[in-house]
Amino acid sequence: MPSLDTGLRPESGRQVTTLWLDVAGARLHAWLVTPATKPPWPLVAMAHGWAAVKEMNLDLFAAAISDAGLAALVFDHRGFGASSGLAGDIDPELQIADYRAALSYAAELPEVDSNRLGVWGTSYSGGHVLRIAESDERVRAAVAQVPTISGGKVTLRRTGRGTLPQLRREWAIDHSASWQVIPRATFG
């Protein structure tokens, strides 16, 4: 059970189990929120966008999903919240891989109907779930709440083309510095 006083309180009959999902290069911290109804349940894999974590109101969405009779697997992307990985590194391909790993984990749970899997994302992860729904045949439903669809276009709208060369130089420096950290990082 989450330590915070959240929407995941058990008075509705829902259950909350804290899990660790092993993925390539990291461990994801997750909550499995199951409804009071009998299994097998459809399941929705869900994560926050950009640098947010599950404790930032995803409990309320998971509670509503659970109260509707579906299970929810709520996780933090690698490097955020309690999940391991390079802290603060926002890599869309790795975050999409995290969603796929969460779906794979969920599909193996005996209480979950692996033929009824969905994905839910907000903001940056809203864009991720659109890509996953388009390419992963296991996904039967997707919710993309205010999705980021093109990070490049968003960057240009916010900064303008004139600042893009300087941003690229800064990103290259940051990227190079992050590689110096990786050999010392531990994933476990």
Instruction: Indicate which CATH number applies to the domain containing 134.
Output: 3.40.50.1820
pLDDT band at 163 (very low <50, low <70, confident <90, very high): confident
Structure tokens at 88: 């603060």
* Angle at the Cα of 127 from the Cα atoms of 139 and 59, rounded to 5 degrees: 75
How much is the pLDDT for 144?
94
Number of domains in the chain: 1
- Main-chain phi, psi angles of 6, to 5 degrees: -120, 180
Between 111 and 123, name the one with better pLDDT: 111
Average pLDDT over residues 140-145: 94
Domain of 46, in residue numbers: 10-149
pLDDT band at 33 (very low <50, low <70, confident <90, very high): very high
Q: Is residue 2 included in any domain, yes or no?
A: no
Q: Is residue 97 included in any domain, yes or no?
A: yes
Q: Is residue 135 included in any domain, yes or no?
A: yes
How much is the pLDDT for 154?
63
Average pLDDT over residues 108-132: 95
How much is the pLDDT for 153?
66
In this structure, the strands spanning 139-145 and 112-122 are parallel
Amino acid identity of residue 101, one-letter, is A
Q: Is residue 96 included in any domain, yes or no?
A: yes
In this structure, the strands spanning 15-23 and 41-47 are unpaired
Q: Is residue 164 included in any domain, yes or no?
A: no
Mean pLDDT of the chain: 85
Q: Is residue 130 included in any domain, yes or no?
A: yes
Average pLDDT over residues 101-120: 97
Between 147 and 158, name the one with better pLDDT: 147
pLDDT band at 91 (very low <50, low <70, confident <90, very high): confident
% the chain with pLDDT above 90: 59
47: β partners = 121
pLDDT at 61 over 80: yes
How far apart are alpha carbons 164 and 157 in whole angstroms?
Answer: 11
How far apart are alpha carbons 97 and 26 in whole angstroms?
Answer: 11
Average pLDDT over residues 8-12: 65
Average pLDDT over residues 56-71: 93
* Residue 143 three-state SS: strand
Best CA proximity match to 58, nearest among 44, 74, 43 = 74
Average pLDDT over residues 173-187: 61
pLDDT at 34 over 90: yes
How much is the pLDDT for 152?
67
Q: Give the helix/strand (H/E) hosting 122.
A: strand 112-122
How much is the pLDDT for 151?
63
